[in-house]
Amino acid sequence: MKSKLDLMSALGWVLGVGVIIIGCTLTRDMTNGGLNFQPGNLINFYDLTSVVIVFGGTITALMVSFPLSQLLKLPKHLKIILFPNQYEPEVYISQLVAFAKKARINGLLALEEDLNSIQDPFLKSSMLMVVDSVDPEKVKQQLESRLDNLGERHSQDSAFYSKGAAYAPSFAMMGTMFSLINMLRSLDDASTIGPNMAIALITTFYGIVIANLILNPIANKLNVRHEEEYLCDLIICEGVQAIQAGENPKFIQERLVNLLPQYKMKNVKTEGDE
C-alpha cells in the first residue's frame, strides 16, 4: 500500500480558508458600488474571549467525552486524511485469484513460498492461517473479528470529530449569550452595544467555522477512508475462506468482483478475458 497526497482534501481546506478570508476582507464601496479589498478588516474577526470560549470549551468537552488516547490521535488522523494509504481492491482480487489457481493445482502448502511477497499484514496473516491448516471455522471467526474490530475502532474515531462538531456551535451560542447579557446590563451606555454585539456574532462565527470546515469534514473523510479499507479487508476475508474451501478460481473472482462498486467492476479482468 502506498501513500500519496489527497489533493481534494488539501485543496478543500486551502480554498475554504481562502473563501473565509475573502469574505472577511472584501467590502462594497457604497459610493460607486464596487468592491474593495481591505486586509485590515481581519482584525475585526479576532476576539480572544471568543477563542477561549469556543476552542477551549470544545476541547474540554471532548476531554470529558473521550479518553486522552483519542485526543492524541489527531496527528495520525490528519495524516490519514492528507496522505491516505491507496487501497486498490482490484489488486487484492487479482492476487487472491492467483493464489486460488496455485492452490488448486499444487495444494495449499504451495502458497507458503508466496507469503514473504505479501505486503498487506492482514492478507499475510490470513493466508498464513490457511497454509498452517487452521480449522476453517476458527479462520472464519478470526477474520470476522477483524472486520468487527475495524468498524468499532473507526466509528469511535469519527465519533470524536462528530461530537466536537456538535459541541463547537453550542459553546459558540454560550459565548453569544455572555455577550448579550453584558450588552443588556449596560444598555444605558450606548458605546458598549456595538462591541458586545460584535463579540456575540464572532463567537457564533467561530463555532460555525470549526464545525463545518474542520470537524465535520474530518469525520466524514475518516468514514470514507474506513469504507476503502473495509472493502479490501472484506475481499480478503471472502477470498481467503474460498481458497481454503478449494473453490473454483473463476467462481472466487466473480464473487469478489460482485463486492466492488459498479464503477470499479470494469477495471477487473474476468477469468475468460485473461
Q: Render pLDDT for 106-145 as a digit per residue (tens, 0 to 9).
A: 999 899 988 888 989 999 999 999 999 899 999 999 999 9
29: in domain:
no
Looking at the chain, the whole-number percentage of residues with pLDDT higher than 90 is: 64
**Residue 209 pLDDT > 60, yes or no?**
yes
Contacts of 171 (CB under 8 A, 6+ apart): 53, 54, 57, 58, 61, 203, 207
pLDDT of residue 273 exceeding 70, the answer is no
Domain assignment present for 9: no
* Chain mean pLDDT for the chain: 89
What mean pLDDT is predicted for residues 139-159? 92
CA separation for the pair 264, 89 (Å, rounded): 9
| SS3 label, residue 71 | helix
- Domain assignment present for 130: yes
Q: What is the tens place of the pLDDT at every residue in 89-111?
A: 999 999 999 999 999 999 998 99
Nearby residues of 257 by Cβ (< 8 Å), 6 or more positions away: 93, 265, 268, 270
214: which DSSP letter? I
Interatomic CA distance for residues 158 and 150, integer angstroms: 12
Does residue 160 fall inside a structural domain? Answer: yes
Residue 31 CB coordination number (10 Å): 6
Residue 109 near residue 131, CB atoms below 8 Å: yes
Residues 198-202, mean pLDDT to the nearest whole number: 86
247 has pLDDT over 70: yes
- 151 is a domain residue: yes
Task: Please give the pLDDT value at position 268.
Answer: 66
The mean pLDDT value for 243-252 works out to 94
Q: Is the pLDDT of residue 231 over 90?
A: yes
Of the two residues 229 and 183, the one the predictor is more confident about is 229
3-29 per-position pLDDT tens digit: 788 999 999 999 999 999 998 888 877
d(CA 126, CA 140): 10
Rounded Cα distance between 268 and 231, Å, is 15
How far lies 73's CA from each of 79, 139, 158, 167, in Å?
10, 31, 11, 19
pLDDT band at 30 (very low <50, low <70, confident <90, very high): low
**Is-contact 168 211, C-beta < 8 A?**
yes
Question: Has residue 62 got a pLDDT over 90?
Answer: yes
Tell me which H or E stretch contains 224.
Answer: helix 216-244
Mean pLDDT of 147-159: 91
Tell me the chain's radius of gyration from C-alpha atoms: 27
- Mean pLDDT of all residues in 203-218: 95
Burial class (CB in 10 A: 0-12, 13-18, 19+), 187: exposed
Helices 7-25, 216-244: crossing angle, 10 deg rounding: 170
Q: Domain of 90?
A: 46-265
Flag whether 170 is in a domain. Answer: yes
Compute the Cα dihedral for 266, 272, 273, 274 and give only its sign: positive
**Is the alpha carbon torsion for 118, 121, 127, 130 positive or negative?**
positive
Torsion-angle region of 133 (φ positive above 0: left; ψ -120 to 50: alpha; else: beta): left
pLDDT category at 213 given cuts 50, 70, 90 is: very high
How far apart, in whole angstroms, are the C-alpha atoms of residue 154 and residue 82? 17
Structural domain total, the chain: 1
**pLDDT of 272 above 50:** no
- 270 or 251, greater pLDDT: 251
In the predicted model, what is the mean pLDDT of residues 239-243? 95
**Residue 184 placed within a domain:** yes
Is residue 252 in some structural domain?
yes
Half-sphere exposure (CA, 13 Å, Cβ side) for 167? 21
Cα separation, 80 vs 153, in Å, equals 14
Closest C-alpha to 244, from 113, 109, 63 = 109
Question: At 178, is the pLDDT very low, low, confident or very high (cuts 50, 70, 90)?
Answer: confident
